[in-house]
Each structure stands twice: as structure tokens, then as C-alpha cells.
A and B are shown apart, each in its own frame.
Chain A
Amino acid sequence: MHLTHESDAFMTDLAEPLTPSARNASQGDGAPATSKKDWATDQEVRWCPGCGDYSILTAVQMLMPELAAKREDTVFVSGIGCSSRFPYYMNTYGMHSIHGRAPAIATGLAVSRPDLHVWVITGDGDALSIGGNHLLHALRRNVNLTIILFNNQIYGLTKGQYSPTSETGKVTKSTPFGSLDQPYNPVSLALGAEASFVARTHDMDRKHMMETFKAAYEHRGAALVEVYQNCNVFNDGAFEAILSKDARPNMLIPLRHGEAIRFGPQGEHGVVLEDGQAKVVEVAEVGEEALLVHDAHRVDPTLAFALSRLSTGVTSPTPIGVFRAVERPDYGSLVNTQVADARRAKGPGDLAKLLTSGPTWTVG
């Protein structure tokens, strides 16, 4: 069975607002109320029909009015790849940059313009292969960015080579005898880089996407959201084992801060910590009190990392939701505080004084 996207429906219907307060027009600093169509551009969306990217675009376009965001204060920066066409479809400021470099470009923008909300749209090849270094450093520095990583485990735009998240043994055009590479787990990678916010969602659940994107948006600092996204042309069904309607209850482990981690149609499965390792158990066998209570705010990332290792591929029960959300000063604030402190201490720069700050002498 192939996954099919309800793309048409996604493109037309409107979601329930996530919170009552988000329902109405002007809020916060008086941003005028917007609707989903205000956030769409006149550009024809050119992803393949049935692509998971459509549902992610819809989720973001529907979320923006709820966030009471201003279009002119919003910037989408992307790299190269199918997902990176995203900025063309958002009626905001945007830059479709070059392969892998979006986190670097977005760093310069976010640091120099703390008044903006900067999103990074990237994919598994863009963020983890050619741009891996930039992603690590944006996370390490905690640049105030909302990073949406579309993970479809394949190179789509170049027509079907394996990616750094493709499973070992994958047969593609560039690996006719099967790939030999060990894949990355993007959540583990982000946690290893000490990201302050790390989450996972998937393209089959708009509500979960919107909740997760909203949490990422509201996080000050670098927020990385991995989105399992189906490429129905080059890697169709990659997530079928966990994302098909029938599979989801038993294969998706929702993480909710402060709640015991359990899943299954009746909540019959759960997660415990055993020898420092997260493990799926039957609640009936271990008892409710043995279950691990999720703590996304825990400063030490060990627990979040253990959860990220629960599934080593997308064929066994896999956690979704917010793995980690901790407070840490964002890089731009630190940088700008240093500038402000220098101006306070030394006064705004006096050019004439600077030019004569070394030893000088006068002739004539």
C-alpha cells in the first residue's frame, strides 16, 4: 500500500485554531489578522503531485495566522533541494540560497536582525550532507532559528540517489548494489550538537505538525524539527511501516512533557529506562509507575538522546514530539548584548578618535 496524501483537502480546508486565544484577529503587538491565503504567493507550487511537501506547506501557512506573525517580519531561508523551493510559496521575505548554506546565511540575518523571525527550510541532503557543518554550528551557537528539516531519506531533485538518512543497503541509482553508509539519525545528531530544541513530526498529521512547529516557533534559540516526509516518486512508502493509518497507534510514540511515555491503541505499550537505555515494554508487565516520564526541559540531554535511539530505523516504534526544549541564551542576543555593552562603556564610535588612536605626530 502506498501512502496517499489528502493534498486537496489540505490545500483548502482550515484547521481548528490550536488555542482559543489564537482565534481572533489582532493580538500581541497589534498584527492585523491574517488568513492562510495571505501567506500564499501567486507562484504555482511545483512539487510532484502527492508529495509530502504540500502538507507541510499547508501546515505552515495555516499556522502563521494563529501565531499572529507579520509577513514583513518573517523570513524563510532555504538551501537546495525539493524542500528548499518552500520560500517561493510563502508570501514573506525569503531566500532560496545555495546547497547546504541556509543555516549560515540565516545566522547572519538572525544575528544582525533580532527583530525578524527567521525560518530555515532544509532537507536531509541539504542539512546533513553538504551543509552538515553549518547545521551543527547553528545548533551549537543556539542561533534564533526555526529549522524545519524535511527528511524523505532520498535525493529527490537530483532524481533518486541515496541520502545520509537512507537505510543501509538501499538500492538507488547511485547504489545499484546497495548503499554501504550508516545513516544519520537527525534527532540524535541535533542532540549531540547540544541543540536547545529538538522535535520530530510527520507529514501525515497536520495537527501534530502545527503543534510541533508552533512549539518550535515559540522557542527562543535554535529549534530543529525533523519532519518525516514521503517522496512518492523516488522513495515512496519509506515511512509506511510506522505512518500508515493502521500502523501509527502501535508505531508512533508521542512524547509529551511531564507525561509517562506510552502508546498503543489502549496505551498498552510504554517506555522505560533500563541500564541507561530507553526500551519499549508492555505496561501490563512492568506497571504504570515504572514508565519513563518525559522531561523535555531537562538540561542534561542524556534522556532525550536515549529516546532518540529507541528506533534505529523507521520500522520499529518511533518517538514523535518534542524531545528537548531547554532555555539557553540565543546567540544573537549574546552578540547584540556585547555590542550594546561596548557602546554603553565606550560611547558610540567616534571615527576621528579611532583614526588617531595610535601614536600620532603633527607636521607643519
Chain B
Amino acid sequence: MTDIKRSAVRVIDVDRAVIRFAGDSGDGMQLTGDRFTNSSALFGNDLSTLPDFPAEIRAPAGTLAGVSAFQVHISDHDILTPGDHPNVLVAMNPAALKANLADLHPSGTVIVNSDSFDERSLHKAGYAANPLVDGSLDGYTVFEVPMTSLTLEAVKPSGTKPRDAERSKNFFALGLISWLYARPQEPTLEWISQRFSKTPMVAEANTLAFKAGWNFGETAELFPNTYEVKPAPLPAGTYTNISGNTALAWGLIAAAQLAGLKLFLGSYPITPASDILHELSKHKNFDVTTVQAEDEIAGIGAAIGAAYGGALGVTTTSGPGVDLKTESIGLAVNLEIPLIIVDIQRGGPSTGLPTKTEQADLLQVIHGRHGEAPVPVVAARTPGDCFYAAIEAVRIAVKYRTPVFLLSDGYLANGAEPWPVPDVASLPKIDPNFATAPNHVDADGNESFWPYLRDSETLARPWAVPGTPGLTHRIGGLEKADGSGSVSYDPANHDLMSRVRVAKIAGISKDVAAAEVDDPSGDATLVVLGWGSTYGAIAAGARRVRQRGLKVAHIHLSHLHPFPANLGDLLRSYERVLVPELNLGQLVKLVRAEYLVDAKPLTKMYGKPFQAEEIETAILEALDQPVEP
């Protein structure tokens, strides 16, 4: 059957492939990419994804502004990035071709939906001449497939009206690419039948379109070969394919369980953070309460109220929401209560680039409050790491009675990777250590409760929740007297309390994992210092440099405030420090100020992650090496 037919085409083994699906924002490219990713994950490849879509739900059809793309990198070995240059570009219309062609690998393959290359669509995309015939695609391997008409023909038996039938063409494309890369069919067919179980006609149309795409590849004799990307030898374990936002939501649920606390989310919808609200809303049986508040301020307000009541209070947002929550974060600093503020960074300032990634909130989350208002900052580095970063943020918040910023970004939020599922029993417990008894005896010998009497080691204050007899107390935004927590305007007390709050947060540096350096030779002179989602690109760029026989070290920070205690010594042990960031130089300012090291920035504001080759080039330049492919 299939095997016999397959023998007609040559199967080429490749160690990795980068595929980009691009079309109109109504063409279902995100879904197509997502399905291809999932069947690749189940097949056992390592993978990394990069969804890239416009902020508009339906930007004008056929225009460059409306192009939505999904890039997936699959491989037979461990990989770190979604890939710099696609090997295959699937373009559903002229605009998708125009917007994405520049990224294609010079020897890449273009598969276009030739039905959409009519004069009107070409004009909308800004093509003066048809690129399929004017020679502008010379050098690429181009396959013209009339996907729309083939789909319409294929789905006829389902009885779908032509207008609806056309919408199945993304499944045709998915079927074709699945054939081209020998992906298993079953996961996709199963998913279709489940997802569209309530609309059998749609399910049938999509199934027919998917199979038609697959069969087209097999029978059209258009493609000289197919590709095989074998499973990657990942470490043993159970894997699932996970996006950053899902991992982060699960991490919060896990942390709440580890601490034995009710999870309370107060949130207001905002791109690209809303999926965390969606995910948590599904899991109420984990004692999760979600309140979609009237605004960003109410979201964090409700979380503060819940935290005062003894819940794990969480608020999720992106940069514009952080702006609005800032006053409330200052309150939480003064109240000294556990609170998690999740910032899924996006392009700024103001509304900026809602669907694009950026790392430009770092200085804001560390410094962006009036007064001396220190807040610990934890950043996730990969989609799967969002799970552990969430647990770490909660550990710090609960132990030190402080709001904690948890940073992710649009790239991690929507990107996905195979994730080894952790053994739940191995996750460390978190002790909320609620106050249960008076902690002070007043001058008259009466027992009383002092809400700002601190633990001598952590400097954390007691967490006494309403409902506990004998511990009634009042807290608020006014300055407190050391110990008793009464309102105090005493100058010396304010000086003391300001220093204590700062010392408490600074002391966390001793309680976090030391910064690790990836320096295989042990004698590199250049260290690349990164944080957050640039992890994959930096690690991949460093690998490339090392493959050239050169030496480079890499430190990647999870704790941005305070820094791990050993960071200064580590940085000073290198002659040169390069700091790549998707901002205009924020971490670099901090390490220069903190450690007096002559760190150099590498910055980018494209709303896209670094490519490994950009990092490679910057490292080579820093090493005064020639930059040649």
C-alpha cells in the first residue's frame, strides 16, 4: 500500500528541517503549524517553534499586514531554536510569499497555493508581476499546487458548501507537508475527529482535505523525494509537547499544591498573557479560583486581597498591564505579602507590538516603582522552563513574604518544545509557615501580635491570616514601625525599614542557585551573558562558534533581581562580556553598575527572537575573528 507507492520517490534522511507555514490570518496557519508540531513531537523529534501572527484578528485579507506564519524546527538531535532559515516555505497566497521569502534558506523549497496567485491577490500583496513566472524565485525549488481547487474537489463528498469547503485548504497543506516529511497521519486524524466532533461535516471535510493533500504528494509525481527526520535520542522519560503559557499555568498549579495553598488568579485579558488565564480557568478542581477583573488594577487588587486571606495570589499580564499595576505592586512591597506578578513581555512602549516578543520590561520590573521598592525577579528561559520558573517564583514569594515578578515573553508564551514530564514526587514542598500564635509580650505582660517582627535569617515577617484568633492586626501602605507595624512617621524608623526591605530582598541572592557557566574548555576569554528567552539562540550560537574550534562561555540568568551571589566573580573572571538582549541594553546596564565590568551590549528590536547566526556573528566579532559562513 503506502509503502509500495512511497518507493516511487526517493527518501532522503536529513538531521533536521525548518518548515514555515504562512498564509492569511484567516487561513488557519497557526493551527496547521501546531498540528504538524504535535505529530512531530509524538514521532519523537526534538523541536522548537516560532508562531508569528498579526495583532489584528482578521487584518485585511491578502495584505502583507495580514500574514500569519508558524515556523517549526524538527530534528533528530537536541536543538535550541526554531531555526534561522526555513528549508520549506508553504505560502498560501502572494502576500505570504512576499513577507517570508527573504528568510528562506538559499537552497530552500517553496510550496505555493497557485490558485491564489491571481492578479487581484498579486496586486494586494504589492507584486507588479507574478513571481511564479517572472524569474524572481530562480534558485529556489518551487512547487505550484492548486490547493484551493484540489481541496474543493476533495471535500465534495462531505456535502460542505464551497465557501466553507475552501476553509479546509490548510488541512490540505498539512497533509501534503506531513507526507513530505513522513509524519504519522493518525495523531492528526484523531485530533480532527475530536476537535470537530460536534460538527461532523467539518470533521469530514478536514479529514478529506488532509488525506487529499497527503495523496497528492504521493501520486502527483511532482516531488522527486521525501524527507525523513528520525526521532531524536532525548533523555529517557515521558514527554509532552508544551508551550510556555501552558507550562507557566501548570507551574503555578503545581506550586500551589506544593505549598498547600488555594490558587487565586486575578487577571484582565491581555495579549500574550491571556492563555494563562484560559488555562487556569479550566482547572478549578485544583482549588483554583480565577477572577476576570474589571481592569488590570482590580486584577492585582483581588490577588492582593486573596493573598492577605492566605491564598497564593497571582496576577498575569503584559507590559501595559504592569504599568497599571505598579502602584499596587508598591503596596504589596509595603504589606510584605506573597504575590506573583507574571509579565509576558511584548513589544513596547504603549500598545507597541502586542503579538511580538521583546525583553524590554527588565528595568521596569526591577526599578519601576516610586520609593525604594525592591521586588525579586525570576525569568524563564524556554517554554518548558516556565513550569520551574513559576515554582521558583512562588518559593521566593512565600518564603520571603514578597511580591515576585515572573518574566516570560511572547516567544516563550506561544513557542513550544518537547518537555520531559517531571516526577511530581520530586518537586520540593513549599512551607507557607502561617503565624498561629502571638509573638510579642507588651509592657503590661499581655501577649500580642506584631506583624512586622521579622525572622532573623530571612528578614521575612509573619503571614497571619484573618480568621486566626489572637492575631488581629492592621497593615497598609503607610510606613510601619519596625516590629509592631503601627503607622510611623519617625525618620529613623523609615530609614531603617527602607534598608531592611532592601536587605531582605538582597539576601535572597544567597538562597538561589549559583550562576552556572557553560565553558567546555574552561579557558574561554569571552563570556556571553543572557537572560530569559534568548537562551536557545545564545546556546546555539555558542555551539556554532565552538564547532569552529573557538572558545566561548555562556552564563544564562534565571534570577535577575537579586543576581546570584557568585555572578560578579564569574563575570570578572572573563576578559570580555557580551550581553545579547531583545531590548536596547538593560541587563548590560545592571551588570556594569553592579560589578564594574566592561560588558558590551548586543541589541535587537525586531519583535523577533535572535537567530543563532546573529549570536554567532556577534561572538566572532567580539573575538576579532573573521565572520564567514
A positions within 8 Å CB-CB of B = 41, 43, 70-75, 77, 80, 87-88, 90-98, 101, 104-113, 115-116, 133-134, 136-137, 335-336, 338-339, 342-343, 345-349, 351-352, 354-356, 358-364
Q: Could you say which of B284, B301, B421 contacts A108, with CB atoms under 8 Å apart?
A: B301
A364 / chain B contacts, CB cutoff of 8 Å: 235-237
Q: Which residue of A lies closest to B327 (CB)?
A: A98
Other-chain residue from B236, B285, B422, B477 in contact with A347 (beta carbon distance below 8 A): B285
Interface centre among A107, A112, A335, A343 (most CB of B within 10 A): A112
Given A105-B304, A361-B238, CB of A354 within 8 Å of CB of B283: yes
List 8 additional A-B contacts (Cβ < 8 Å) besides A101-B297, A349-B283.
Answer: A77-B305, A94-B476, A111-B302, A112-B289, A134-B298, A352-B424, A359-B187, A363-B237
User: Knowing A108-B302, A112-B306, A364-B236 touch, does A349 contact B285 (C-beta < 8 A)?
Assistant: yes
Residue B276, interface by CB 8 Å: no
Choose one: B264, B327, B472; the contact of A93 (CB below 8 Å).
Answer: B472
Min CB gap A333→B, angstroms: 12
How far is B421's CA from A362's CA once the two chains are assembled, in angstroms? 10
15 contacts between A and B (CB under 8 A): A80-B477, A95-B308, A97-B477, A104-B266, A105-B301, A105-B308, A108-B291, A112-B264, A115-B467, A133-B294, A133-B298, A134-B297, A339-B285, A360-B240, A363-B231
Q: How far is the CB of B388 from chain A (nearest CB, A)?
A: 12
Chain A residues with CB under 8 Å of B475's CB are 94-96
Complex interface: chain B residues within 8 A of A75 (CB) = 466
With beta carbons under 8 angstroms apart, the residue of A43, A347, A351, A362 that contacts B486 is A43
**Residue contact A335 to B253, C-beta cutoff 8 Å:** no
5 tightest Cβ-Cβ pairs between the two chains A and B: A364-B236, A96-B476, A108-B305, A104-B301, A349-B286
Known interface pairs A105-B305, A112-B306; A363-B239 also in contact (CB < 8 Å): yes
B-side interface size class:
35 or more
Whether B291 lies near A107 (C-beta < 8 A) is yes
A203 to chain B, nearest CB (A): 23
A63 to chain B, nearest CB (A): 17
Contact of A98 among B284, B295, B307, B477 (CB under 8 A): B477
By beta carbon, the residue of chain A nearest B471 is A72
- B573-588 contacts to A, CB under 8 A, are none
| Interfacial chain A residues near B254, Cβ < 8 Å | 351
* CB-based contact B241/A358 at 8 Å: yes
| Docked-complex contact A112 and B305, CB < 8 angstroms | yes
Chain B contacts for A77, CB-based, 8 A? 305
Report B's interface with A, CB cutoff 8 A. Answer: 38, 41-42, 44, 187, 231, 233-242, 250, 253-254, 257, 262, 264, 266, 283-289, 291, 293-295, 297-298, 301-311, 313, 327-328, 330-331, 335, 421-422, 424, 466-478, 486-487
Looking across the interface, which residue of chain A has its beta carbon closest to that of B312?
A112
Q: Tell me the bound Cα distance from A134 to B293 in angstroms.
A: 9
Contact B467 A113 (CB under 8 A): yes
Contact A108 B473 (CB under 8 A): no
- Interchain CA distance A113-B330 in the complex, whole Å: 24
Q: A111 contacts B306, CB within 8 Å? A: yes
Interfacial chain A residues near B307, Cβ < 8 Å: 108
Q: Give the docked Cα–Cα distance between A101 and B295 (Å).
A: 11
The reply to whether B474 and A96 form a contact with Cβ atoms under 8 Å apart is: yes
User: Which residues on the A side are within 8 Å of B474 (C-beta)?
Assistant: 41, 87-88, 90, 93-96
> In the complex, how many angstroms separate the beta carbon of B471 from the nearest chain A beta carbon?
7
A302–chain B nearest beta-carbon distance, Å: 25
Complex-state Cα separation, A359 to B416, whole angstroms? 13
| Assembled-state Cα–Cα distance A137/B257 (Å) | 30
Question: In the assembled complex, which residues on chain A have CB atoms less than 8 Å from the CB atom of B266?
Answer: 104, 108
Please, how many angstroms separate the alpha-carbon atoms of A116 and B306 in the complex?
12
Residues of A within 8 A of B288 (CB): 339, 349
- Name B238's contact: one of A107, A111, A336, A360 (CB within 8 Å): A360
Known: A98-B328, A345-B285. A359 touches B240 (CB 8 A): yes
Taking a contact as CB atoms under 8 Å apart, the answer to whether B306 and A108 are in contact is yes
Indicate if the CB atoms of A107 and B305 lie closer than 8 Å. Answer: yes
Q: CB distance A361 to B41 under 8 Å?
A: yes
Query: Which of B262, B473, B477 has the most CB atoms of chain A within a 10 A radius of its CB?
Result: B477
Q: Is the CB of B311 within 8 A of A112?
A: yes
Q: Do B234 and A363 have beta carbons less than 8 Å apart?
A: yes
